[in-house]
Structure 1
Amino acid sequence: MFKLESRRVILRDMQLSDEAAFVELTQDEKYQRFYSEEDCRAEKYRQLTQLFIEQAQAQPRTAYQLAIEDKLTGNFIGTVCLRLESDLQASIGCGMSRRYQGTGLMQEAASLLVDYGFNQLGVHRMYAETISENRAAIKLCKYLGMVEEGRFHQHRFFKNQWWDTLVLAIRSNEWQQRSTVILR
């Protein structure tokens, strides 16, 4: 089983036992603000749990959709992912239970996975795409050293409105300059 550890979190492959906590996380109305109605159904997240388990077995592995486990309690507290793409690029994403937000645990988890992507998988450029109103995601990306590379106006339509999306990214050489500070 894939596993990365930092001071306060363990990143590991998703397991069927994570399903209930994962579904609960995604059903929080604060979490659902930036997702379409279709993407908010509990059944979708049950199916995704199974997909993430299957993706962990793929050879070669191209998706790291990992559970974030609180080292202190052993609880599933969120998920963080890295998806390998062509030309040594990868996308990242995450979600965390509301009761753990604001604790720095997501910063720790995301830093750990970004570092793995650059230093172990040989990724050249890592990016995230998010709804422009998702301030927490943007703040996390900037913490990781990502800069805004583009804004797509009225790019997604859900919840009866058009949403702008942002693309933020960082390259390996930029990460290497920052990582000693972030991963201390």
Structure 2
Amino acid sequence: MFKLDTPRLLLRDMQFDDEASFVAISQNDKYQRFYNEDDCDPDKYRQLTKLFINQSHEVPRKAFQLAIEHKSSGKFIGTVCLRLESDHQASIGCGVSRLYQGKGLTREAAKALVSFGFAELGIHRLYAETIRENVAAVRLCQSLGMRQEAIFREHRFFKGQWWDTVVLAILRSEWSQFH
């Protein structure tokens, strides 16, 4: 099983025991505000749990969709992922339970996975996409040294309105200077 340790967290492969907590996180109203209604269906998160477990067995591995476990409680508190793409590029994403937000845990998890990606996987460019109104996600990316590369105006339509998508990225050479 893949694992990364941080001072407060254990990042590890998803397990079937994580499913109920993963589904519960996705059902929070504040979590759902930046997602299409179909994307928050509990069955989708059950399917995603199975997908993430299956991806952890791929060789070569193309995705590191990891559970974030809080060391002091042993509880599943969210996910952080690194999806490998062609030309040494990758995307990152994360989602953490509302109970654990605002404590620097999401940044701690993302920083550990980004460091692993640049140092061990040879990633050249890492990017993230988010809804522009998701200020916490944009700030997280910026705290990791990512810069805004693009805004796709009125790029997604859900919840009865158009949403802009922001793309933020960092190069390996910038990461080594920033961290």
Q: TM-score, normalised by structure 2?
A: 0.99
Superposition pairs of residues 117-136 of structure 1, within 5 angstroms = 117-136=117-136
CA distance in structure 2 between the partners assigned to 1:125 and 1:134 by the alignment? 22
RMSD over equivalenced CA pairs, Å: 0.4
SS of structure 1 residue aligned to 2:152: strand
Misfit runs of 4+, over 3 Å: none
Q: Distance in 2 between matches of 1:37 and 1:153?
A: 20
**Partner in structure 1 of residue 173 of structure 2:** 173
Corresponding residue of 1:69: 69
1:17 is aligned to: 17
User: Which consecutive residues of structure 2, in runs of 5 or more, have no partner in the other structure?
Assistant: none
Cα distance in 1, alignment partners of residues 141 and 88 from structure 2: 19
Partner of 2:90: 90
Residue matched to 2:150: 150
**1:74-113 deviation line (CA, Å, top 9, x unaligned):** 1000100000000000000000000000000111000000
Name the structure 2 match of 1:182.
none
**Aligned equivalent of 1:162:** 162
What code does the residue aligned with 2:170 have?
I
Unaligned stretches of 5+ residues in structure 1: 180-184
Q: TM-score, normalised by structure 1?
A: 0.97
Q: CA deviation at 1:20?
A: 0.3
The match for 2:53 is 53
SS in 2 for 1:136: helix
The total of aligned residue pairs comes to 179
Q: Percent identity?
A: 64
